[in-house]
Copies of this chain bind each other. A is one copy, B any other.
Amino acid sequence: MLTKTKFYANAIEHQYERFRCGHCKVREHCLPSWMPDSEEGRIATLIDTERKVRRGDYLYRSGDSVQDIFAVMSGYFKVSVMSEDGREQITGFYMAGEFIGYDGIGVGIRFCNAIALEDSVVCPISIDNLNTQSIRVSSLRRFVTETSGQQLARAHRMALLLGKLSAEERLAAFLLDLSQRLQARGYSSTEFHLRMTREEIGSHLGLTFETVSRIFSQFQERGLIRVQKRYIQICDLVRLKMILGRAGQNVISVSADCDSASLQVRAG
């Protein structure tokens, strides 16, 4: 892929200097598989200098003006909406290759907070430039449509989870979702490290941290998982899926990335 760029003319080659996507480890999760190689460079030209965000720092906060969407290159984020009296609903956790920052896009003002759960690096993609280029580049239009559609799908799955599932089912869905997304990134689907506290999990799933803790313990007693602090091992994937089974797989997210494999899963 990278060698291919060598044949381009100067002007374009210059763009490729700034083209981090080619080197990027998460490129395959971030850019859709249907995107023609020849046009991947277009996206790269939209990317500003990559930005580092320290653990605990805000990537953006509610009320900020909307400039960019962000592709997570490395690290981990939580995104949340806050009620005026300080109740925090975490709308999602985001890992490498996923997109953050669709909130507030039409209005120009953020209504979510995005906070790094560990030292992270993001690619800021200028929305203005994205819109401008989209006029000419069909693959960019498709890219925008697809990724923003995924954000909405994710949000609707959350509504189903929050409105209809029991605590057990929510936790099962949560673990299976993580498992699936990690697997898609080449990590183990059965052993992983949680990046967030029990409280944050609870805040995401509409539960208290005590309930999260108890249900983890209960899952462990039942032999479904092993828990040691934040280290999780899924021992019985089948039975874990059965807990959710009655509710249906379509509750579990499929991440915010846009490779076609996950699109098929979601569609099914």
Q: Mark A residues whose CB is within 8 Å of B.
A: 81, 83-85, 87-89, 91, 102-109, 111-112, 131, 134-135, 141, 145-153, 155-160, 162-165, 203-206, 246-251, 258, 263, 266-267
Contacts and interface: CB of A to CB of B under 8 A. Distances in A.
Centre residue among A151, A159, A205, A246 by max chain B CB count within 10 A: A159
A62 to B, nearest CB: 9
Contacts of A248: 83-85
A193 B163 CA distance: 25
Given A83-B247, A84-B247, A164 B106 contact: no
Contact of A156 (B81, B141, B147): B81
Contacts of A109: 267
Given A111-B250, A156-B111, A106 B267 contact: no
A60 to B, nearest CB: 14
A173 to B, nearest CB: 10
Instruction: List the number of copies, as a whole number.
Output: 2
A266 B131 CA distance: 23
Given A103-B153, A149-B106, A246 B85 contact: yes
Contact of A155 (B84, B155, B249): B155
Contacts of A146: 106-107
Dominant secondary structure of chain A at its interface with chain B: helix
B89 A160 contact: yes
Given A84-B250, A158-B159, A162-B206, 13 more contacts: A81-B160, A83-B248, A84-B249, A85-B247, A88-B164, A104-B149, A106-B150, A107-B267, A135-B141, A148-B152, A151-B152, A162-B162, A163-B205
A141 B152 contact: no
A264 to B, nearest CB: 9
Give 6 nearest A-B pairs by CB, closest first: A84-B248, A106-B149, A155-B155, A106-B146, A163-B206, A162-B162
A79 B206 CA distance: 22
Contacts of A83: 160, 164-165, 247-248, 250-251
Given A131-B141, A250-B111, A91 B148 contact: no
A243 to B, nearest CB: 12
